[in-house]
Amino acid sequence: MTDAALEEKRKPLIVIVGPTAVGKSELALRLAEEFDGEIVSADSRQIYRYMNIGTAKPTSAEQSLVPHHLIDIVDPDQQYTVADYQKDAYRAIADILARGRVPFLVGGTGLYVKAVVEGLVIPRVPPDPVLRRRLEELAEREGPETLHRELETVDPTAARNIDPRNVRRVIRGIEVFHITGKPISTLQRVQPPPYRVLTIGLTCDRATLYRRIDERVDKQIAEGLVEETKRLVAMGYGYDLPSMSGLGYRQIGAYLRGEMDLPSAIQLIKNETHRFARQQYTWFRLDDPHITWIIQGPEAQRKARSLVRKFLADCLPGY
């Protein structure tokens, strides 16, 4: 390996993952402050402008403490693919490293993290709006399981790796097969990026996690999630947009349309977020040897700080 290649492999990337509401953002903020870092968001909802409360974006004060990247980069009605995210994330990481600072990739969107850390080679197949709408209508009419069975017939490997409830990914798998004639699972390859990666997972017991989720939902309601959703609709962003179908906005939308009362909508947000948190552990497995897990609590920051300090010393001689 050449000296240049060795130097490239020393470039550090610190990744912080875990379920929603576990405290990743706060931990990352403290670590980035201490280790001269900048944060690259790996959250597929925080990319949208105007959607602040429901996506639990870092506040202006928090963003002023440490530079954040890939937040507020597209409007709620703009298409933004995983391939777009990967390209933008690599550009942000390269820029941070070029300025002699440390990049922290932080978030709970498993596919975003995987795209960056593993270097997924994502097939650039343009969408087919007519096919997508037909598949969406099929899912609405007969349920997502019917759609998932269709994916199983054309790409069993992808079907095994995609939750049937993740309708958007199921549709994408079917779409790629219909356009290319090849399963998406055979088109996706990996090309690991030229970084040394430390992945820290933050976790806690389920009861504590559910309590943290419920407290956050209550806080979002108090901060004006209902008003934020009304404002988005008034701006012309319809309930049928992928951005508006996310947790919080979907349930508040049902309340605003008169389909349920507000207490029921709030409880549904909590229940669906509990389910989503469980689903995130299929991306960030507790037995994954590439993730160093720490327990949320009084010692979490100290343990994470120790891991980061040792990692940076290994990457950057003389650190």
Alpha-carbon Rg for the chain, nearest whole angstrom, is: 20
- Residue 140: the pLDDT is 86
- Residue 9: the pLDDT is 53
Tell me the residue ranges of DSSP E strands in 159-254: 189-190, 196-203
User: Do 122 and 88 contact (CB within 8 A), yes or no?
Assistant: no
- Residue 1: the pLDDT is 35
User: Which CATH code for domain 9-118+195-315?
Assistant: 3.40.50.300
- Residue 125: the pLDDT is 83
Record the pTM: 0.87
Residues with pLDDT less than 50, the chain: 1-3, 5-6
Where exactly does CATH 3.40.50.300 map onto the chain?
A: 9-118+195-315
- Residue 241: the pLDDT is 93
The owner of tokens 């201490």 is 34
- Residue 2: the pLDDT is 44
Look at the domain 129-187 and name its fold: Histone, subunit A (1.10.20)
Query: In whole angstroms, how far apart are CA 49 and each of 28, 57, 162?
Result: 22, 10, 28
Alpha carbon distance 232, 312 (integer Å): 43
155: helix, coil or strand? coil
Where exactly does CATH 1.10.20.140 map onto the chain?
A: 129-187
